[in-house]
Amino acid sequence: MTSRNKGILTAVLCIVISLLPFLIGLILYNKLPDQLPIHYSIEGEADAFADKMLSISLLPGICAGLALILAIALHSFAEKSPKVFASVLFIWPLLSCSIQGMMLCEAFGFPVNDMTITMILMGIIFAGLGNVIPTVRPNGWVGVRFPWIMDDEDAWNKTQRFTGMLMVLLGILFLIEAFAMIGGTSGAIALLLWGTIILVVIAAIYSYAVSR
């Protein structure tokens, strides 16, 4: 199978998996309450509800649509960097299945800790992307793209490797926080926010230093 065909298969698989929660929702449709949550507050409590057909179709539809758009936009990566292509696309079925699964669990009386799920998701995404970003060559779409390294391949490569390492470490911290929940919901949110900001600042300083 050619790299191009593998890329097409990856895209189709991501779209199908993204829509899988919608199919499950249809199977369970008659057992679901008429109103389902479509938004949660910072505290993890449902604060917006919608008709169940909209609720079971909205997120899977958005995730499948984004997977399709990115597959088209990043089609060149399917051959040049298949791992990067797959990693970016698989974010959307991951979000669709986990968040929709959380909603369905709550609808049937099995509430889950929303922030724990969020931290696990962010941990997987950061660690996963951190592992593939070091393989990205200079391009206009993917990677840590500061203006001062775009025309310097050596600085670009060093920045991707360094930032990838930071992302993996931050992803591990997110996963630890998912189960430890130090500081509760506020602590988890603070780690998400400040951890990401600090990562970007450190990556920017490092990339600027290696580009001089």
Shared domain for 70 and 127, answered yes or no, is: no
Predicted local confidence at residue 90, as pLDDT: 92
Closest CA relative to residue 161, chosen from 203, 129, 184, 133: 133
pLDDT of the residue at 62: 94
Q: Choose the final residue of a domain: 67, 87, 112.
A: 112
pTM, whole model, 2 decimals? 0.80
For residues 7 and 93, membership in a common domain is answered with: yes
87-121 confidence digits (pLDDT tens) = 889 999 999 998 888 888 877 877 777 788 889 99
Question: Do 143 and 211 belong together in one domain?
Answer: yes
Over range 8-31, report the average pLDDT.
93
Rounded to a whole number, what is the distance in angstroms from the first to the last CA of the chain?
A: 43
Give the per-residue pLDDT at 47. 66
**Whether pLDDT at 15 is above 90:** yes
Are residues 93 and 162 part of one domain? no
Q: How do residues 145-176 score in pLDDT, each as one tens digit?
A: 899 998 889 999 999 999 999 999 999 999 99
- Name the domain count of the chain: 2
What tokens does 7 get? 């890329």
Q: Which domain holds residue 147?
A: 113-212
Q: What DSSP state is assigned to residue 141?
A: S
Q: Count Cβ atoms within 10 A of the Cβ of residue 210 and give its class: 0-12 exposed, 13-18 middle, 19 or more buried.
A: middle
Domain boundary among 80, 112, 144: 112
120 and 99 share a domain?
no
Asked whether the predicted pLDDT for residue 37 surpasses 80, the reply is no
Last residue of a domain, one of 96, 112, 128: 112
Looking at the fold, whether 155 and 170 belong to one and the same domain comes out as: yes
Read off the pLDDT band of 81 (50, 70, 90): confident
Angle at 31 between CA 27 and CA 35, to 5 degrees: 105
Measure the CA dihedral 166/169/175/181, to 10°: -90
pLDDT of residue 208: 94
Note whether 97 and 165 are same-domain residues.
no
pLDDT at site 94: 92
* pLDDT (0 to 100) of residue 171: 95
Asked whether the predicted pLDDT for residue 32 surpasses 70, the reply is yes
* DSSP strands (E only) in 77-211: none
